[in-house]
Amino acid sequence: MELHVEALQGNKGLIRDYVHQTLKKNIMELRLEPGRFISEKDVIEMLQVSRTPIREAFVRLSQEELIETVPQKGSFISLIDLQHVEESRFIRETLESAVVREACAVLSTEQVMHLQNLLNLQQLCASEHNYERLFELDEEFHQAIVTGCGKIRTWTMIQQMSTHYNRIRFLRLASNTDWESILNQHQGIVQAIRDKNAEQAERIMKEHLSMLDIDKTQLKEKYPTYFK
């Protein structure tokens, strides 16, 4: 599977971050698929860097539950754990449903316009079947609501818990191009915030974040080797 690798420039610290970010991006976007064996030698060949930043990246990825090391066998891309997925979904639904109510009261006209612009770009990506950019814009949409309410640390915490959750979301976009329901819910959220209708915004957000309950069963049947 061909990996996304960007040009590397900079000092030792930047090299360390580059290795971590490159590996993480390829794990999250399933180019390094769940269950795949990964060695330091493989990464040296892929990224043309020394062994030290690779070891540091492996430690960070292990802490993020994206790599598992098995004694006498080596390192593997972690399988998607549906218990972790459900816990992350629960946290997101609980927090984002509360935050979107606040967004109805505090987001400015300019911030609501930004949400609409992100949605317009999502619709363009859907028309071009660009699920990679659509995933990024989906994340930007939810981030803009949370951080727009001044809850930057809340968004950071959500991201720290969402490594398994985000992989299954990406898999859903990649394997099913019926994205209309996602975009319609995003539009409903924007309209509810614009109308300052907190009850409506909360209801749609809960529906939106509960969709994965239906999708994950189908995805496990379609990609059984990807799941724990």
Q: What angle do CA 212, 180, 29 make, to 5 degrees?
A: 55
Q: Report yes or no: 8 and 18 within 8 Å, Cβ to Cβ.
A: yes
Two tokens at 224?
């059984």
User: How many other C-beta atoms can be found within 10 angstroms of the C-beta atom of residue 119?
Assistant: 18
Place of tokens 């968004």: 155
149-173: average pLDDT? 93
* Interval 168-194: pLDDT, tens: 999 988 887 778 989 999 999 999 999
Q: What is the pTM of this model?
A: 0.85
pLDDT at position 12 is: 57
37-42: average pLDDT? 90
pLDDT at position 42 is: 87
Query: Residue 7: pLDDT above 60?
Result: no
Query: Residue 1: pLDDT above 50?
Result: no
| Average pLDDT taken over every residue of the chain | 90
Rg, C-alpha atoms of the chain: 19
Task: Give dist(CA 134, CA 111) in Å, integer.
Answer: 20
Specify the range with the lowest mean pLDDT, choosing from 85-94, 95-104, 149-158, 207-216.
207-216
What percentage of the chain exceeds 90 in pLDDT?
70
pLDDT at position 9 is: 47
Task: Give dist(CA 120, CA 67) in Å, integer.
Answer: 35
What percentage of the chain exceeds 70 in pLDDT?
93
Task: Give dist(CA 187, CA 55) in Å, integer.
Answer: 43
* Interval 78-136: pLDDT, tens: 999 999 999 999 999 999 999 999 999 999 999 999 999 999 999 999 999 999 999 99
Q: Which of 35, 36, 8, 9 is nearest to 22 (CA)?
A: 8
Q: Which of 140, 133, 207 is nearest to 170 (CA)?
A: 133
* Interval 50-59: pLDDT, tens: 888 899 999 9
